[in-house]
Structure 1
Amino acid sequence: MANPFKAVINQLNNEIDKNSKNELNQQQKQNLFNQTKMYIFLQDFIEKVKPYLEEGEEIHAYLPMTNDGQNASAVGLGLLGMYHPESEEAKAYVKNFNDLRGNRILIFTNQRMIFTTIIEFLDQKTFFSYPYTTIKAITLKENKMNYFDWDDSFPPKRVALYTYTFDFESENHIFSELLGQRDADILKRQLSEIPALQDILVTRNIYRKHKFDRVVNNPVLAYKIMYSLPLAVAVIFLILLALGGFFHIGPTKSLFDFTTEPALQMISMWLLY
């Protein structure tokens, strides 16, 4: 193993040779310190997970999930993300990283996926196991959302934001998350490299064993409803206004009858303000 002291000194020498004048500011130093601290912690955390692996089971990759906006926090976050640490190890984790249930990890092995919330594993060694043999289909659906970027250009530039719905059912458990591009790349790589995952159907549709779950526990359907419901409500409201204004029928007709009390109240408010 290379001596870290020599490695760092050699890096400093290389920077001098390249006449590097870029110095880290205080925030960059703090970020680097936090990353190093997290790296050391995760190395120790993985060693705590390994005793729970089966004989011949090997870890292939890790898929991190957080509550910083890239993930939907649909799995494992709990009520308002609250948690009361019990062990000294869990309390130290909260103190060092200011996290309760936000940091979660999905571990890909050659036999299964293992999901756990960091703090729950530290406290109670709680984790969920999803053997590949119990998964009939995996949903990986690309979602595109457009927004206007006002920061870099004027007039604002139209920018596309891509997210991915990741969902599967394993026996009586349903796993569903929203992934960013980097997370989706990790997942795609495992789908193509792990032999047991290659045999599982990858689809854009949600697979559920029971019909009830196809409606109630369907994130794709929920996304469509959330996206289209405000538009549908606006269209219905405009139709009702048109019926009341032009044909004097429907629940909004009184708004256009200036002899009724609602219309008089509205006129009075306009005059007062």
Structure 2
Amino acid sequence: MQATKPQLFAYIHKEILPLQHAFLHVSDLAIQRGYGVFDFFKVQQGQPLFLNDYLDRFYESARLMELQVPFSREELVNIIFKLIEVNKLEVSGMKMILTGGYSSNGYDPVEPNLIMIQQPLVLPGQELIDKGIRIITHNYVREIPHAKTINYSIGIRLINQIRQRGAADVLYQLGGVVTEFPRCNFFIVKQDDTVVTPADNVLLGITRKNVLKLAGRNYKAKTGTITLDDIVQAKEAFLTSTTKRILPVVQVNETVIGNGKPGSVTLSLLKDLITLEEEQLAVEQ
């Protein structure tokens, strides 16, 4: 007998509704022009992880895109916890979306619409971590990289190409200088165990921030320029994100990284990151 899926709820138009009843009008600029920002954080045991960092970035994205968040930080936190309480999910992802609003002419931003969606989240399995992933590259840099906008056109358009080439994701680069994935940050580990992530033209990921701090405990860790040539010479490579934590990258295009297996630095940082999340939960509870 198939288990019944729990009914999920979303926040929209200043109320919490069943997810299947949460709609935007076609005049919203998110639909008309793809204009809006969002953020996404993990919720475990009823607690949002690193919430302050995600809220900082959400408000900054809104500022960069000339959108006004319609609630104070305290009000937004209250809404988040009300939705968590209603949905009662053990491990989930919470997405906050701020749109350009219902525009009469389909172009001028008006009062933004705020939407929150919470859904179950499955983290990468051990088999994927043990094996690592292959990625490809694409010539592109996001506009306004520090803003987490809803425009993912390039990444979505490349999905078929990624799959056809037997890869798991695409890393953006321009003129041989790499930046980020559509939804993740990128790191390499040099031969001397220095951990490096691109400094410019990237979204300032919260997991990226945490991993840099963790790496600094046992290794030299820094932000800087990473080129395709640096990747060829790298000892290890990995990506970071809220939903993936840390995933080893073992091949970029036709280049095998190191010995083609997840490296010790990558795996030790993943262990440290999981410990940090557990510590965060302990503090919040």
TM above 0.5, one fold? no
Identify the structure with the greater helix proportion.
1
TM-score (norm 1): 0.28
Identify the structure with the greater strand proportion.
2
**Higher relative contact order, structure no. (Cα contacts within 8 Å, ≥ 6 residues apart):** 2
Name which one, 1 or 2, has greater alpha-carbon Rg.
1
